[in-house]
Structure 1
Amino acid sequence: MHPLRGILLKILSVCVFVGMASLIKTTAPRIPPGEAVFFRSFFAIPVIVVWLIWRHELSTGLRTANPMGHVWRGIVGTSAMGLGFAGLGLLPLPEVTAIGYAAPLLVVIFAAMFLGENVRAFRLTAVAIGLVGVLIVLSPRLSVKTSAIDVSETLGAVVVLGGAVFAALAQVFVRKLVQTERTATIVFWFSVTAATLSLITLPWGWVVPSALDAGLLIVAGILGGFGQILLTSSYRYADASLIAPFEYTSMLLALGVGYFIFDEVPTSVMLLGALLIIAAGVLIIWRERQLGLERSRQRKATGNVGT
C-alpha cells in the first residue's frame, strides 16, 4: 500500500474529469448531449485498450461472466452521463458539480432498497443533511420563473438532479458487478455500451461539429479514458475510505474553472448547500471506514478463537 500515491492519483483523476467536463461545457451550446456522450465514450476506448495491453490484461479485461449486468449498468450510466452533459449547457459548472454530489448520498438509500444493505441512523442522518444541502442548492432554480433564461436554468437543475439519481443507480449496479467481474472489464464494457447506446439519440438532432468542436470532444473522450484509469489505479494503492474524500477537491477546481474560464460567480446559497453536501459525504465515508475497521476486528477475533 502506498497511500500518498493513491491520493495523488485520485486528485489527478479529479483534475482530469473536471477538465473533461469543461470541454463538454464549452461545446454544449452547439453539440447535443447524446453526441457528446458518443465522443466521450468512443474515444475513451482506445485509451482503455492500450492500458489493458500494457497491464497484460486485455484478454481478461474483455471477458465477462455477466453480459446483461453490463447492459443494465450501461443503460443507467449512459443516462447519467447524458443528463449531466445536458446540465452543463444549462447551469454553471460549480452548481452542476454540487448537485452531482447527491449521487453518493442516494447510493446509501438505493443500496438499502435494492441490495439489502443495513443502513443505521448515523448514515441516514448524514444522508438527510446532504439532501437538505441539495435542496438549498436547488432552491433558487425551483421557484416560479418567467424569463427564458430562468426556465432553462430550472430545467438544468432538474436534469442534473436526474443525472445524479441515475449515477447512484449505476453505482448500485457496479456493486453487484464487482462480485463477478474485474474492474478492467467493467471500465471497458461501460465505454462500449455507452458509445453504442448514445447512437440511439441520432434522430434527435446530431450535428456535424466544426473542426474545433470535434477536436475538443475527442480530447474530452481521451481525458475520460485517462481519468478512469487514474481513478481505478488510485484504489490499488490506498483504501477507498482514505481517498474517497479527495473527490470533493473537484468543487475547488470547478469554482476556479467556472470563475476564470466561464465567468461564473458562485452564490452564497450554492456554496452553503455545497458545504452541507460535502460534510454529509465526508461523514458517510468516515462511518464506512469505522464499520470496515470494526468488521476487520471481528474477523480477527473470530480467527483467533478458531485457533
Structure 2
Amino acid sequence: MTPLRGISLKVASVAVFMAMASLIKAASDAVPPGQAVFFRSTFAVPVILVWLVATRGLGAGLATRNPLGHFWRGLMGTAAMGFGFAGLGLLPLTEVTAIGYAAPLLTVVFAAMFLGEKVRAFRIFAVALGMAGVLIVLSPRLTALRSGQIGAEEALGAIVVLVGAVFASLAQVFVRRLVGEEKTTAIVFYFSVNSALLSLITVPFGWVMPDAGTAAMLVTAGLLGGIGQVLLTSSYRHADASVIAPFEYASMLMAIAVGYFVFGEVPGRAVLAGAALVVVAGILIIWREGRLGLDRERQRKSMTPQG
C-alpha cells in the first residue's frame, strides 16, 4: 500500500471530474442533458479500453457473469447522470455539488433497505445530520419560490439534482451487489457502454447538431470522464477506501473556485453552511466504516489458528 499515491490519484480524479462537470455546464445551454450523457459516456469508452490494454487487464475487464446486474447499475447511473447534468444547466456549480453529496448518505439508507446492511445509531445520526445540511442548501430556493422572488426554474433545478442524487445512491447499491462477483474494471467499462446506449432513448426529445466549439467541449468532457474513472479506480489500489474517500469533499473547494472564476457564481451562506454539515456527516460515516473494518479484521485474525 502507498497511501500518498492513492490520495494523490483520488484528488486528481476529483479535479478531472470537476473539469468535466464545468464543460457540461458550459455546454448546457446548447444541448439537452441526454445528449451530454451520450458524449460523456461514449468518449469515455476509448480511454477505459486503452487503460485496460496498457494494464493487461482487457480480458478480465470485459468478462462478466452478470450482464443483467450491469444493466440495472447502468440504468440507475445513467438516470443519475442525466438529472445531474440537467441540474448543472439550472443551478450554480457549488449548489449542484453540495446537493449531490446527498448520494452517499442515501446509499446508507438504501443499503439497509435492499441489502439488509445493519445501520446503528451512529450512522443514523450522521445521515440525519447530512440530510439536514442538504435541506439547508435547498431551503433558499424553495422558500424564495413560495415568496415569488425567483422563477420556478431554479427551484426545479434543486429538485432535479436531488432526484439525481437518489438515482446515484441506488446505482451504488447495485455496485455493491456487483463487486462480490465482478471485477471493478468490468463494472467501470460496462457502465460507460450501457449509459451511452441508454442515453439514445432521449434522441426523440430534442437532440441538436452542436457547433464546433460545443462539440469540442462535449468530446473533451467524455475523455475527461474516462480519465477520471481510471484515476479513481487506480487510487483504490494504493490505499484503503477509508483513507481515500474523504478527499472526495475536495470537490466543494474546487466547485467554489471554478464557480467564482469561470461562471461568476458566489455561493450564499446557506449553501456553504449546508455543505459543511453534509461534508462532516460524510466524513463521520467514512470514519466509522473504517473503524468497523479494523475491528472486523482484528476479529478475523484472532480467530485464525496460530502455529
Give the alignment's TM-score, normalised by structure 1: 0.98
Which amino acid is the alignment partner of residue 173 of structure 1? F
Does the 8 Å contact 1:76/1:170 carry over to 2?
Answer: yes
Q: Which residue of 2 aligns with 1:88?
A: 88
Deviation of residue 58 (structure 1)? 1.0
Deviation by residue 1:190-246 (Cα, 9 ceiling, x = unmatched): 000000000000000000000000000000000000000000000000000001000
Q: Which residue of 1 aligns with 2:49?
A: 49
1:289 pairs with 2:290: yes
List alignment gaps of at least 5 residues for structure 2.
Answer: none
1:208 pairs with 2:195: no
Deviation of residue 145 (structure 1)? 4.1
Deviation by residue 1:79-138 (Cα, 9 ceiling, x = unmatched): 000000000000000000000000000011011000001110001000000000000000
Deviation of residue 142 (structure 1)? 1.4
Which amino acid is the alignment partner of residue 13 of structure 2? S
Any residues of structure 2 matched to 1:189-204 within 5 Å, and which? 189-204=190-205
The 1-side partners of 2:148 and 2:168 are apart by 30
The 2-side partners of 1:273 and 1:34 are apart by 29
The 2-side partners of 1:150 and 1:164 are apart by 23
Deviates more, 1:79-88 or 1:147-156: 147-156
Which amino acid is the alignment partner of residue 118 of structure 2? N
Q: Which residue of 1 aligns with 2:31?
A: 31
Q: How many residues align?
A: 306
What SS is found at the alignment partner of 1:161?
A: helix
Does the 8 Å contact 1:145/1:151 carry over to 2?
Answer: no
Does the 8 Å contact 1:133/1:275 carry over to 2?
Answer: yes
The 1-side partners of 2:130 and 2:56 are apart by 41
The 1-side partners of 2:202 and 2:111 are apart by 30
Deviation of residue 150 (structure 1)? 2.6
The 2-side partners of 1:273 and 1:155 are apart by 19
The 2-side partners of 1:180 and 1:286 are apart by 26
Any residues of structure 2 matched to 1:77-116 within 5 Å, and which? 77-116=77-116
CA RMSD after TM alignment: 1.1
Which amino acid is the alignment partner of residue 279 of structure 2? I
The 2-side partners of 1:289 and 1:29 are apart by 42
1:274 pairs with 2:279: no
What SS is found at the alignment partner of 1:236?
A: coil
Q: Which residue of 2 aligns with 1:253?
A: 254
The 2-side partners of 1:119 and 1:298 are apart by 20
Deviation of residue 270 (structure 1)? 0.5
Give the alignment's TM-score, normalised by structure 2: 0.98
The 2-side partners of 1:66 and 1:24 are apart by 31
The 2-side partners of 1:51 and 1:237 are apart by 17
Which amino acid is the alignment partner of residue 34 of structure 1? G
What SS is found at the alignment partner of 1:209?
A: coil
Q: Which residue of 1 aligns with 2:172?
A: 171
Any residues of structure 2 matched to 1:59-78 within 5 Å, and which? 59-78=59-78
1:136 pairs with 2:130: no
What SS is found at the alignment partner of 2:59?
A: helix
The 2-side partners of 1:149 and 1:223 are apart by 34
